[in-house]
């Protein structure tokens, strides 16, 4: 059975434009026979990587990885999160634009995925992604307007970062559903939402 992984990361709950759009994208892309796995990173945040967990995930040569109940629990959570991602054929990532980047809870999720030997590996020719063959849809919401402006290249550490991360994992099918200008007044908000929903319909066609 095909699997779709739906990730939400906005702390704004039901008031979030991005949650409405990511839900629409997930629903549109989850066809018959597709199992949907949902993870709300705001309601159930994943702890950020700490020193002991990093040492357990990436032990230094000749060292003994820490083995405590807390570390074992974090390793189990990491395996659960990574397993969801690797088992999914389609991944819908809701990513609001916060202070020119992504929410920290979304970064914590990505840090659990970035594991040498699982989602990428280093070779003599350079890094090679190991998680290819998936389709990723990034649902991007922004209060202002940045796409196509002189500010985009300097300030966009959201969409560009996510495309770089998934590309590093070997995923080449990455699409953006973007709602820009949602804080610029009711008309701009409505137009942004409609444009994003039109993109959702196009992706699902």
Does the pLDDT at position 107 exceed 60?
Answer: yes
Tell me the pLDDT tens digit for each residue of 116-140. 999 999 999 999 999 999 999 999 8
pTM listed for this prediction: 0.89
Instruction: Please give the pLDDT value at position 189.
Output: 84
Does the pLDDT at position 175 exceed 70?
Answer: yes
Which residues lie below 8 Å from residue 175, measured CB to CB, with a gap of 6+?
Answer: 135, 136, 137, 138, 203
Angle of helix 186-204 versus helix 17-29 axis, rounded to 10: 20
Lowest mean pLDDT among 75-89, 92-106, 116-130, 152-166: 152-166
SS3 at position 11: coil
Instruction: Please give the pLDDT value at position 71.
Output: 84
Highest mean pLDDT among 105-109, 155-159, 184-188: 105-109
CA nearest to 81, candidates 116, 122, 37, 42: 37
Pick the residue with more confidence: 191 or 93? 93
Instruction: Please give the pLDDT value at position 26.
Output: 94
Q: How is residue 45 written in tokens?
A: 């945040």
Instruction: Calculate the dihedral angle through the C-alpha atoms of 120, 44, 77, 107, rounding to the nearest 10 degrees.
Output: 30
Other residues' Cβ atoms within 10 Å of the Cβ of residue 70 = 12
């Amino acid at each position: 059975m095909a699997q779709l992984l739906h990730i939400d990361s906005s702390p704004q709950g039901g008031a979030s434009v991005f949650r409405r759009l990511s839900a629409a994208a997930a629903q549109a892309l989850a066809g018959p026979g597709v199992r949907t796995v949902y993870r709300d990173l705001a309601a159930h945040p994943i702890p950020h990587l700490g020193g002991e967990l990093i040492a357990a995930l990436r032990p230094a040569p000749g060292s003994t990885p820490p083995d405590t109940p807390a570390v074992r629990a974090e390793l189990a959570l990491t395996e659960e999160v990574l397993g969801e991602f690797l088992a999914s054929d389609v991944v819908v990532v809701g990513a609001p634009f916060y202070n020119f980047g992504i929410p920290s809870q979304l970064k914590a999720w990505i840090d659990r995925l970035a594991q040498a030997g699982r989602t990428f590996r280093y070779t003599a020719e350079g890094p090679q992604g190991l998680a290819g063959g998936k389709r990723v849809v990034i649902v991007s919401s922004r209060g202002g307007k940045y796409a196509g402006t002189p500010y985009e290249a300097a300030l966009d550490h959201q969409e560009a970062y996510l495309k770089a991360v998934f590309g590093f994992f070997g995923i080449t099918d990455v699409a953006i559903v973007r709602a820009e200008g949602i804080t610029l007044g009711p008309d701009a908000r409505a137009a942004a939402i409609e444009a994003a929903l039109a993109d959702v319909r196009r992706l699902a066609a």
